Structure 1
Amino acid sequence: MLETPGRIEPCFFEEHIPAELADLTVDLQREAAQLGQGLHPDSAAELADLVRIMNCYYSNLIEGHNTRPRDIERALAGAELEEEARPLALEARAHVIVQRAIDGMHRAGTLPCPTSVEFLSWVHKVFYDEMPEEYRVIEHPDGTREPIIPGHMRQQGDKEVAVGRHMPPSSSRVAAFMDHFDKRFQVAARSSSGRIIAIASAHHRLNYIHPFPDGNGRVSRLMSHAMAFTAGIGGQGLWSVSRGLARGLADHGEYKRMMDLADSPRRGDRDGRGNLSEAALKTFCAWFLKVSFDQIAFSTKLFDLSGLEKRYRRLVEDTIDDKRAPDLIAAVLRHGALERGEAQIALKTSERTARNTLSKLTAAGYLASASPKTPVRVAFPLDYRERLFPNLFAEGDLRTSPA
């Protein structure tokens, strides 16, 4: 087994970017620029938190952990959980906490290089610091158990690992491989198209190295999320790569098959100059970028302000006995937040009538605020998520594909 860092080459396409991949980067930039247009930043931020729940739901699903969205929300709120649901819900909560931190760093302009050893170790550490005890241990095939050390990459003296048929680099060589990984993807980030294509290739190569004893899949998906921000296609945090990877373009087994394909060794003199197949990497990257486009297009349609306002109006009409309520929810959605005293202006009615409408919407969970006197903001209760956001968690199809 080759134990030099060159084993993960090619990491990307240096001499010539394939035309298909170049075209996909243009499609992704164009579509991501449309995502969330018209939404007030406060409304977009509220929606981004819902997307984080969706992202961790699908990331867990990839790992074989089916967590109910309601349990994730309860865990985030610190509410009491059913004993059988508690471990999975707390695992999902840990994922959301890390993603919130990543999104916050991006907004503040302090997001580190997502492919750096420091960032990846931080992601793993914060994730496992928040994990329930049940999931902070590895059970080896020989029956032995080993605690997971948050942020710890494999090193000399650690047990060797196998991922199906794949044998990652030996534990003693992980540091050298990760140093190479970090440097190579810094080179890829020097061009706008390179930054986008690297989201796909780095995703595979990190899993190929398998630097952590456990949690590599989740770390790689959070890395991809962060890389989308640095590549300029983050779309205000309103789309999820995990949803696309879990669903695929045609069937749910594509992610595993494509990851296996990208493990393929070089197939001859015309298949690049690295240890791994350049043709297989191109196929994997094209698939990954098409999945990303698919999910950005899905979210663009789902979070279109006009369509969202119509769906929210219908929901309020059906559930609130107040003909003014739909107008108020539309006003708050468009403005992001509303001072309580401004409700009567928005509704062109008396202060008392506006206050009653506000109370009904707040009691139903459609509006929220930090205190009874602070401005109200729009909320998106999970009880009605399928009406407001069809197919967010379900298996329906709102997808489109690039030409």
Structure 2
Amino acid sequence: MIEPARIDAPDGDLPDLIAEVAAKGEALGQKLHPRTAENLAGFVRIMNTYYSNLIEGHNTRPRDIERALARIDEEDEKRDLLIEAVAHVRLQARIDALASEGRLPDPAAPDFLRQLHHDFYEGATKEMLAITGRGRSFEMVPGEWRKGEEQDVEIGRHLPPPSDRVPDFMNYFYRRFAFEPTDNLLLAVGPGKGKRILAMATAHHRFNYIHPFPDGNGRVSRLMSHAMAHKAGIGAHGLWSISRGLARGLSDGPEGRLEYRQHMAWADEQRQRDRDGRGNLSLKGLSVFATWFLKVALDQLEFMTQLFDLETLAKRIERLVARHEKFAPEAVHLLLEALRRGEFERGEAARLTGMPERSARRVLKDLTQAGLLASSTEKGPVSLRFPSDTLEALFPKLYPDAMV
């Protein structure tokens, strides 16, 4: 039912797109100091969460997500949305950390996907787990596939496989999309960057086609795609987000938001005559989706490459300091030092600014209070940070204007 699961002979724009995505993914962030890149990845996770929420129809401002990472008020009217947002940020941080340590599991593995779902809903309220509608009502169990007739679903015109077949479908999904084949996974993707990049696109659709969980499938699929990008060698230390592209599409304006659903629906279509592959589903529909998905990925890689260009970012930092009423002009030297070196000792402030010790400490304090410089310990070296109130100045067009 889910074949063709992969595209074995890509044609049209796909070969060039795969090559461009591979090249851009390898190059993104290479000029940045690893510590600066790590801190940027932390702010990208908040962006990723915002856009993943937007796809689900939820608006959670970047500033609200940032605050929620520290504390969520019991009485907050958006409490449930913020619990989900914090879970998304922390899960993506874990994926990024496992990837950097070389310990990231195969993203298509059923155990990995169930764990993602379980951990996403860890700490969820009863209201978040309640599934109602179409004459049914039950409480979802985090990390468990759909089971029982009451958990059969219908998504628009698409009818996913019945719940009692989900385990078989997900085992087959693993056989087709495993990045690390074993003797029992002869149909797996296997090594090869190009194959993995293309499989990342088709796996995203086929996972959602199966719709293995009662709820939360979209979020899990986007986290899975993020993990697959790492495994394909284009994760760029977490410096880009497929969620932003899926939420925005390739068109400016409201019509871009419809592209994701339209292309997912086209890939749901059944085979059209003899020249449309040999599986149950349309090979042409899957190719159209994969082409769009990789164009979105390339668009985001190019956007983030421009945004994180070292010299361009340095100029934005200079403008930020010049326009800030509280910062002394010498503050720019500390920020640029942190940008290029990754971090510096607090005692270096006087030398870097050319100011007397007491004045330099005051400049450093202003930057730490503003959240632009921070350290993991009270007196440790400081590194560059990116608080939400600097996004407009440092990273224009990252969010819709109303969200900044």
| TM above 0.5 | yes
Amino acid at match of 2:310: L
1:287 maps to a residue whose letter is W
Q: 2:318 aligns with which of 313, 317, 327?
A: 313
How far apart are 1:254 and its partner, in Å? 0.4
Matched, 1:388 2:394: yes
Equivalent position to 2:265, from 260, 265, 274: 260
Partners of 2:69 and 2:125 in 1: how far apart? 14
Q: Distance in 1 between matches of 2:317 and 2:119?
A: 36
Residues of 2 paired with 1:50 and 1:307: CA distance? Answer: 18
User: What's 1:399 paired with?
Assistant: none
Letter in structure 1 aligned against 2:117:
H
- In terms of mean alpha carbon deviation, does 276-285 or 150-159 score higher? 150-159
Alpha-carbon displacement from aligned partner over 1:199-257 (angstroms, at most 9, x marks no partner): 11000000000111111110000000000000011111111101100110122100000
User: Is the 8 Å Cα contact of residues 75 and 81 (structure 1) preserved in structure 2?
Assistant: no
TM-score, length-scaled by structure 1:
0.93
Secondary structure class of the residue paired with 1:162: coil
1:271 aligned residue (276, 295, 310): 276
Partners in 1 of 2:53 and 2:39 — Cα distance? 22
Matches within 5 A, 1:276-291: 276-291=281-296
**Could you say which residue in structure 1 is the equivalent of 2:183?**
none
User: Would you say the 8 A contact 2:117–2:216 is kept in 1?
Assistant: yes
Most deviating of 366-375 and 274-283: 366-375
Rounded Cα–Cα distance in structure 2 between residues aligned with 1:237 and 1:180:
29
Give me the CA root mean square deviation.
1.6
CA offsets 1:168-200 (integer angstroms, 9 cap, x no match):
111111111111110011222332211000111
> Residue deviations 1:246-273, cap 9 Å, x none?
1101221000000000001000111111
CA contact under 8 A between 2:53 and 2:59: conserved in structure 1? Answer: yes
Q: 1:148 aligns with which of 123, 140, 147?
A: 140
Question: What's the counterpart of residue 338 of structure 1?
Answer: 344
Determine if the alignment matches structure 1 residue 197 to structure 2 residue 202.
no
Please report how far the alpha carbon of residue 368 of structure 1 lies from its aligned counterpart in structure 2 after TM superposition. 1.2
Q: 1:362 to 1:79 in 2, by over 3 A?
A: farther
Aligned counterparts of 1:99 and 1:33: Cα–Cα separation in 2: 20
Partners of 2:134 and 2:321 in 1: how far apart?
54
The percentage of counterpart residues that share the same residue type is 51
Match of 1:173 among 165, 169, 182: 165
Q: Output the CA distance in 1 between the equivalents of 2:78 and 2:165.
A: 38
Q: Which moved more, 1:61-70 or 1:155-164?
A: 155-164
Q: Which runs of 5+ in 1 are unaligned?
A: 1-6, 397-403
Q: Determine helix, strand or coil for the equivalent of 2:151.
A: coil
1:62 aligns to what?
Answer: 55
The number of residue pairs the alignment matches comes to 388
User: Is 1:357 paired with 2:360?
Assistant: no
- Show the counterpart of 1:182: 174
Matched, 1:248 2:237: no
Pair 1:301-2:306 in alignment: yes
| Letter paired with 2:328 | D
More deviation in 27-36 or 251-260?
27-36
* TM-superposition CA deviations, 1:50-95 (whole Å, max 9, x none): 1111111111111111111111111101154762122211211111
Report if the CA contact (8 A) 2:245-2:300 is conserved. yes
Task: Please report how far the alpha carbon of residue 395 of structure 1 lies from its aligned counterpart in structure 2 after TM superposition.
Answer: 6.0
Residue in 2 that maps onto 1:347 = 353
Gaps of 5+ in 2: 179-187
Q: What amino acid does structure 1 have at the position aligned with 2:265? A: D
Instruction: Work out whether 1:129 is the aligned partner of 2:130.
Output: no
Counterpart CA distance in 1 for 2:215 and 2:139 is: 10
Question: CA offset at residue 156 of structure 1?
Answer: 4.6
- Distance 1:236-1:123 versus aligned 2 partners, 3 A rule: same
Structure 1 residue aligned with 2:230: 229
Which 4+ runs in 1 deviate beyond 4 A?
Answer: none
Distance 2:215 2:59 in 1: 19
